[in-house]
Structure formats: structure tokens, C-alpha cells
Homo-oligomer: A and B are copies of this chain.
């Protein structure tokens, strides 16, 4: 199914709620439409590692009864959703893409799973993740070209939404694991401010760097589900959560956006560059001032920091991954080379090295915050390439790592294309200003109309 940016993904969820309330549609019918797509596409795409259609149908029927009584529990009542398979679910195994956890039943829900259930969401299945969201890839392929990667590590979540199987799936990101696959799979992807959503019950790799994020067909759903989770599952303990209205904040035109390069720009090919430049022209023509970092010392300093984000994230991860990966290693588990490389550093790194990386991160985060006096946000490519050919070629995180390292909210919109494949436009906002970023994204979507 080749990519056509003019054909929108399956309808969003929030936009269908009025029909549930009016009695013109039901969550069960919505679920059955999702299941029909799953039945058509899943054998090729392989987005799921576990499906629980029986449980989903029961949950959808219960949601339907609530809508009939005009008493839905929340904005996600009846939402068909998939969860990355490193997130614990009481009714499905949590296998983390690893033979270590084959068939692993923890018997409990992670906070975000429990919150979704309390809110009435319909948990359809567990989506494929690379091993521990870092290692070897699964069989999942890109829904727009089976010879290409869907991106990692939230491969299954991105593929399920990109294939139109689900309106929403949850992913996690340490470097680029929500944003990059969302770009490759032609959808909205959001990584909120660090700490917006609690990570307990999610297999840890580097908890101080990991973010829960969303893959969605529509921007409004991303806001609704992330805001819901931040309030109901709660933030990472000690962090502030997402404040703002229940539904998508109103469109807000950013006056000045900094153009992000990072080392990613150097490796972007001509068609990708052209698509991005054309996108910038649209924003510029709509009255947004695009600021070149080279002309503003504090922004150039930011651009210089962007290039160190990968190092900083990897260094912090090497220290934090010692648990539980030292235990897996002691038990004789053979890791994928990506994990093995990180683990080699984990054996060398000291607390002082960790402090050095944390201190860089804190200074970088402060620099990003300070930039809010000069600019309203940052615009860049979500990935320096469209989805590469070959499932093991997972692409490059370098354009996503800066926002992740800073802990600033970022999102990708499926507004660009190159080589007949989707390409995301990335917007980065400021810490705690997730609502403002979504308002800007809503405005950008209107501009691209």
C-alpha cells in the first residue's frame, strides 16, 4: 500500500465520540472496523505480538453501554489502543521482545495500563518492540512498503497506526523510538515533556531518559490520550504532569521558530532536503519567521549542544542499564550488538562519569528553556531519511535526540513526503508547555491544510 500524503489515516477517535453519544455508532462497531483492518493487514505488517480480541470486544461493549447511558468514564472510553510490549498488562504477557521474557505474565497492569482500563479504553493488543526497546528488531515491516523498516523501537505501535489498524498506540522513547517510527509510518508521534507519564511497570533501560509517547492518526487524539494518562496514571514521581484542556488546545501561530540542523542535515539526501525546505516555505509564507541559528549566538550554542545529545543519552543509559542488564548478562543471556556495546560501557562507567553526563544534560535543558525568550519553538526534520530499505537498517536518531535529551516536548506531523514515503515535520516546544506545542501543531496542520 504505497504512501499517498493526500490520503489521511483512519479517522481519529475523539472525532467519533459525538456519534457514540448520538447513538449513530458504537465503540464495538469501531473496534470491529479496526479488527477488519487487522485481519487484512496484520499477516504482512506484523505489528502485534499478542492480540486480545475477546477482551477488547468485552471492553468495547461495556463502553458502548456507558455511551448509551450518556455516561462515558473519560475521553478515552471506548478507545481501541495498542501498548508497546514492554508495558505490563495483567491480561496479556509482557515479553519485551526478548526470549528472557517469552510468555512472561506479570499479573499486573502498569500505571498507564491501569489508568486506561479505569478510563474505559479498549486494549486490543501488545505491539512489537525491539528487544528491551534497544536490541534486535522484530518481523514488523513498514505499512507503506514491506521492504522497509517501520523504525524502532516502538515498531509495532507505529506500524499498527500507520496501517490503519488502530487510531492510537502507546510507545516509549529514549532517543527517537516514538518520533522516528512515527515519521517513517506517516502519523502523528508525540514525546511529551520528560516525566509527564509514569514509567513504572515498563521494562527499564534508562529511566531518567525514557518517555512514554503516543502514535496516533490524528493530533487531537494524541493530546487527549497523553493528557489523560498524565492526569490518571500520573507523572514520573516528582515531575509535573500535562496541564491544559481535556481536548486539543486551540491553534496558535508561532511567531518565530528556530530551524534545527543537527548532524542529521548533513546526511539528508536531496529529496528529503527539498521536502523540508518546501515545508519551511509554507510556514514562512504563512508569516512564521524562521530563525537561522548561525545568526544568533545563543541559538548556535544550542545547535552545538544538539550534536552532543546522542553521547549524553548513551552515557546516562550505560550507567542506568546496569540494572537489570548486569543480571541478564550474569544469567548468560547473549545480547544484540547494540545492547552489548552499551553494556560494555556500563562495565566501565563510574558514578563520576554519570554525574558529568547529568550535568551536561542539566545545562543543556537550561539552555533550551532560556531560548524561549528568543523563539517560540524549533522546527526540523523528524528523521534525516525516509524509512530505510531493510528491516535491520533502523535509521538515525540524531534529529530526535536533542529534544529527548533536553526533556523538552516534541512531536512529529505527517506533512511531508519524499521518494513516495512519509517524512515527518518535527516541532519542539519548551518544558511543561506541552499544551502550547499542541496549539502550534494544530496551527501548522491548518497551514498545510
Contacts and interface: CB of A to CB of B under 8 A. Distances in A.
A375 interface: no
A189 to B, nearest CB: 23
A314 to B, nearest CB: 15
As for how many copies of this chain the complex holds, the number is 2
A114 interface: yes
Contacts of A354: 234, 241
Given A204-B200, A327-B109, A320 B237 contact: yes
Nearest to A204: B200
Interface string A266-294: 00000000000000000000000000000
Contact of A323 (B111, B206, B324): B111
Interface residues of A, number: 37
Interface string A352-395: 10110010000000000000000000000000000000000000
A319 B231 CA distance: 10
Interface in A197-244: 198, 200-201, 204, 206-209, 230-231, 233-235, 237-238, 240-241, 243
Contacts of A327: 108-109, 114
B320 A118 contact: no
Contacts of A323: 111, 114-115, 198, 200-201, 233-234
A322 interface: yes
A322 B208 contact: no
A234 B322 contact: yes
A326 interface: yes
Interface string A293-329: 0000000000000000000000000011011101100
Q: Which of A115, A204, A238 has the largest count of B CB atoms less than 10 A from its CB?
A: A238
A7 interface: no
A385 to B, nearest CB: 31
Contacts of A1: none
Contacts of A235: 351
Contacts of A358: 238, 240
Interface string A138-149: 000000000000
A273 B220 CA distance: 62
Contacts of A237: 204, 206-209, 320
A118 B208 contact: no
Nearest to A111: B323
A435 B324 CA distance: 28
B352 A319 contact: no
Contacts of A234: 319-320, 322-323, 351, 354
Interface in A113-131: 114-115, 118
Contacts of A118: 326
Nearest to A349: B234
Nearest to A195: B238
A406 to B, nearest CB: 13
Contacts of A355: 240-241, 243
A206 B206 CA distance: 20
Contacts of A115: 323
Contacts of A238: 207-208, 358
A47 to B, nearest CB: 27
Contacts of A322: 111, 234
A179 to B, nearest CB: 21
A352 B114 contact: no
A241 B351 contact: yes
A326 B114 contact: yes
B324 A108 contact: yes
11 contacts: A114-B323, A114-B324, A200-B204, A206-B237, A208-B237, A234-B319, A234-B323, A235-B351, A238-B358, A240-B355, A243-B355
Interface of A: 108-109, 111, 114-115, 118, 198, 200-201, 204, 206-209, 230-231, 233-235, 237-238, 240-241, 243, 319-320, 322-324, 326-327, 350-352, 354-355, 358
Given A207-B237, A231-B350, 19 more contacts: A111-B322, A115-B323, A200-B323, A201-B323, A208-B237, A208-B238, A209-B237, A230-B351, A231-B351, A233-B323, A234-B319, A234-B323, A234-B351, A235-B351, A240-B358, A241-B351, A241-B355, A243-B352, A243-B355
